[in-house]
Every structure is written in structure tokens, then in C-alpha cells.
Amino acid sequence: MQTKYDFIVLGGGPNGLAVAAYLGKAGQKVLVLEKYFEVGGGLATEEVTLGGFYHNTHAVYHMMVDYAPVYQDLDLEKYRCNYIFPELQVAMPFEDGSSLCLYTDVERSCKSLAEFSQKDAASYRDVYHKFKLYMDEFLAPGTYVKPLPTLDAVLGLQKSDVGMEIYEYQHKSPQDIVNELFENERVKTLMLYLACHWGLEYDSGGLGFLVPLMLNRAVNSRLCSGGSHRLSNSICRVIQEQGKGHIRGSQLIKRIIVENGAARGVELENGTVYEAEKAVISSIDPHQTFLDYVGEKNLSDDFLFKIKNWHWEKWTLCSLHLALRELPAFKAADARPEINRAFMYVLGYETPDDLVKHWKAIDSGDLSATVGCDCVFPTMFDPTQAPAGKHTGSMWEMAPFNLNGNSEEWWDRKLREEHEERFISTLQKYAPNMTRDKIMWTYFVTPLDYSTKYLNMVQGSIKQGAYEIFQMAFNRPNDECSSNRTPIKNLYMCGACVNPGGLVTFGPSYIAANTIAEDYGIEKWWKEPDYITKARKKGYFGDYEG
């Protein structure tokens, strides 16, 4: 058995696999070690209800397919990684049978918004084009370049009119921005949900520049044909085709071997030792990486303080996956038939106050008496994910990890059953045909379940750490690791805890691949996308060195 590799990657999630693929195609011997039998991390597609029903139990809305270099660089379509881009991206039905819809076509979105407010329709049209400009010029390129120190980043933004506009959003909260842009309460409700549901606090400033990104991406999500695991499987094929890349599942790591301040390899719980002749690359969270595997004795007191004071997210996910005899038929379809074929549905909220009450309950550690959630029915667009004539559905609610200060309350069977019924009642409120006889089986996942299934998601933290002003960009996870390098020589990080953060963006792994290639003199076979080079030339990310 081969035990020596150039690089050893810890964790076979999307970022770990991507950095391994880039290095493998560059001729490096790469080993990926994954705890579970199947790699992919959050790119999970599983038969958790009945046989033949394939559920995307975590990642389903793939947001950066049109920008992430990984897709083109690795030619993932060649390996059966294909995407469906639904025209109706987001639908928010209301109890009175009306609905708000956002389409890939901005004019169709404006027509829906105009039913509630002509002014809001005009405002959305304006910000749709403005936010697309922000994405192309700065936000998307910034997802795939090394972060600058805070002052340098601000100076970079101030070099252009567009940069100054983006900077003006910086200190505003999502709620401030939404209130400035829109007037109708129902429009505000949808926009505030979309601005925040990937991790921004509704009332916190400092990260307001992410609101344009979130609202732009809300109408640019894709569904992976065949299930989300097709994405991870395609990257695995890239790694394995090079002949020097190995992927090993069911591997339990004991420690990262550190000698004289440098990472030299990895020891498994069963005593197996793999040597890294160049580096170890961790895609897992900072606590496991440094506290469990590197060990406190190998770290300075100052660095330990930074790691131990890393903040996990205030909320996590509670979800319900459904095996269905038929698709939901929404009441709102009487007025707008196409609502029965939306990608994402937002259910359970009628006003911004409903959202705020939900978030305040989470902060207090309380479980909401009614469910507000987003949900998806993949088989609307991809019938291969269920037996013929049958369907799958998934519903996700933001929820506290600790209920009344105690995470173990989630083990309570009665609580689980009651909250599952709340999910189903919410769906039935908007789609009355979703009675129990139409639901063949369910699979309920609590915040505690997320943390035990995905050890990366400490306290259910789906992005390996909260989005807070002092935990982003140059400070993600801290000033010593945001460049992917760490205080331990030959140890790198490439997971969601480093810039730019979580979700399936491939930002952390793409930046890490570039950093590592530069550090070890590895010739890059890939070319930087033009949109990133253009942003560099404008000075957004420091002096251009073309």
C-alpha cells in the first residue's frame, strides 16, 4: 500500500476534493482522507426515506455555477455533472392565494412585483442590473482571490465608482437595505429572507456588501441533475483519472504529525501513517484541525486564543425530507399556474415581523410554534431522483442548536414528532393536497443530527463558522490562516472556515490551489478567468502584476 504522497487532503467535501483535483492534474501525488464511506460532505444524495427516492439532504441550491472556475477548469460536464436552471427561481405563496415570484427573466419578476407595488417593481429592475454589475466587477472575482488586509481592501474598493457604491452598503444591515429599496410589506418579507437565509443577521451591519450578492444569487441557483452527489462524484473522477490521486473513505484521523513545527503527515486511529512529502491540507473546521489533530502543545498561546474564540453560527438547520405520491398543488396556482414549478419555495411568512420574530426566537433558544422555511421538490425538474410517477421534497427551517441552552433536547422523540407535524402543516397551508396519504415516508433531521453526521458542522454550523465582520475575509478564520497558510509549516486550510466562506462556491479550494502551487513552484495548468483578471487590473485586489 502506498503511504507516501506529495499532498494529503483531510476531508472529502467539495473544497477538499477540488483542491486535490487541481493538484492532481498538475502531476502531484494526492491522497484524500474522508471519514465517511462516500465522499462529498454536504454534496449528499441519499435514500433516506424509501428505496429509489434520492434526497439531496444538505446542499441543493448550487449558487455559483456560472462563475466558479472549477466547473470549466475540470471540465465537469465530461463526467456527467450537468445542471438544470429553472425559469421560476423563487416563489413565495401567501395564505390568501396570492404569490410573489422571481424568475431568471427580470421583466417577469417585475410583473409579479408590480401586483403588490409598481414602485417596488421599478426598484427591483434597477437593483437587478446594478447588482449584476457588482457581481461581475467585484463580488464574483472577490470570491476567488486572496483576501487583503481590511484597510487595503477598503482602498481597493475606493478606486472606482462601482467600488464606492459597494462600499456604501458595507455598514448597513440587510434590514436597512431592504427597507431602503422596497416599500410593500410582502416584497420586503421575501427580499429580507433571501438576503439573510444563507447566514447574515438581519439587523447587523458590517457585511452589507453581501446583500447584493445574496439577492443576485437568489435568481441564479441551479439543480444538479441526478442529485448533488453527481458534482462530488465528477470531481472524484478527475482525481482518479490522473493515476496519482487516491481517495480513501471510512478513515478516522488520530493526528496530524508535526515535527519541528512542520506538518509531516497523518496518523489514523488504526495506526496507519501516511507521509506528506510536501504538505497536509485541511478542509475541515479549525477546532478539529488545530485542537484535535495538531494539538495544543504545537501551537502558541496567542494562536490558541484565536482558535478557541472562533464563533459558530447562531442558527443551524432543521429539515424534513419527503417521499411523495404526487407534487404539491399550491392554492396560489389558481391565479398563477406556473407557481407549481418553482425551484425554491419560501413558506410560512406573511410579513417582515414574522421573520424577525423567528430570528429572535432562535436567539433566545426557542423553537418557533409555527414553521417558516424554504423547500424544494427536485423531481419537478429531474424525475430520475424518484421512482416513476413519484416525487421527493425537502424543507429547511432555521432553528437554534441549543433549545433552552441544551442541545440534547433535540433527542426528545415527542418534540421531533410534533415539529415534523408543524412542517407538514405549513406545507398543507399552501398546498392543501399534501395530506398524510400523499406522503409515503419522512426523514426528519434536527440541528443536533447535523452536528453528529457532519463533524465539520460544529454545533450545526453549516459554514464552519458564523458570518461576522471579524470572521470574514482577512480574518476568516483569523489573520494567520486567511491566506490558506497556517502557523504550522506545510499545513494549509481550504474549507469553509477560510475566505470567502461556506456554500458550494469552491472559493476556498480555488484560492488554496493557487496559493499552494505558488508556494511549491508547481506549474499551473489552469488559467485565471478573464473576469478576475479584469478586476485585478482595476486595482480591487492590490497592485496588478500581469
- pLDDT greater than 80 at residue 245: yes
Name the average pLDDT for the chain.
Answer: 96
β pairing state of 391-399 and 273-282: unpaired
Domains for the chain: give ranges and CATH numbers: 4-44+225-310+465-537 (3.50.50.60)
What is the per-residue pLDDT for 166?
95
- At 268 the pLDDT is 97
Residue with cell 419560501: 346
Q: How far is CA 405 from the centre of its chain?
A: 26
Q: Give the rounded distance of the alpha carbon of 458 from its chain centre.
A: 15
Q: Does the pLDDT of residue 37 top 90, yes or no?
A: no
Assess contact for 223 and 54: CB atoms under 8 A: no
Non-local (6+) Cβ contacts of 321 within 8 A are 48, 49, 55, 57, 392, 393, 394, 395, 442, 443, 444, 445
CA atoms 458, 463, 465, 467: torsion sign: negative
User: What percentage of residues in the chain have a pLDDT greater than 70?
Assistant: 99
- Cell 488586509 sits at which residue? 149
The enclosing H or E element of 282 equals strand 273-282
Q: What is the pLDDT averaged over residues 354-364?
A: 94
Please write the tens of the pLDDT for every residue from 397-448.
999 999 988 999 999 999 999 999 999 999 999 999 999 999 999 999 999 9
SS3 128: helix
In the prediction, which pLDDT does 44 show? 95
Distance between CA 433 and CA 323 in Å, rounded? 14
C-alpha–C-alpha distance, residues 87 and 101, integer Å: 10
Q: Angle of helix 118-134 relative to helix 210-217, nearest 10 degrees?
A: 110
pLDDT at 84: 98
Task: Report d(CA 416, CA 431) in Å as an integer.
Answer: 22
Is residue 543 predicted with pLDDT exceeding 80?
no
Query: Is the per-residue pLDDT at 455 higher than 90?
Result: no
What pLDDT, on a 0 to 100 scale, did the predictor assign at position 1? Answer: 66
pLDDT digits (tens, 9 = 90+) for 76-120: 999 999 999 999 999 999 999 999 999 999 999 999 999 999 999
What is the rounded distance in angstroms from the CA atom of residue 30 to the CA atom of residue 22? 10
**3-state DSSP helix/strand/coil % of the chain, to nearest 5:** 40, 20, 40
Q: Is the pLDDT of residue 366 over 70?
A: yes
Q: Cβ-count burial of 366 within 10 angstroms (0-12 exposed, 13-18 middle, 19+ buried)?
A: middle
Specify the higher pLDDT residue, 142 or 368.
142
Q: Measured between alpha carbons, how far apart are the two ends of the chain, in Å?
A: 44
pLDDT at position 124 over 70: yes
Q: What is the mean pLDDT of residues 22-35?
A: 97
64 compared with 460, residue with greater pLDDT: 64
| CA 17, chain centre distance (Å) | 15
Q: Do the beta carbons of residue 456 and residue 244 sit within 8 Å?
A: no
In the numeric block, the cell 389558481 is attached to 334
What value does the mean pLDDT take over residues 50-58? 97
- pLDDT recorded at residue 546: 66
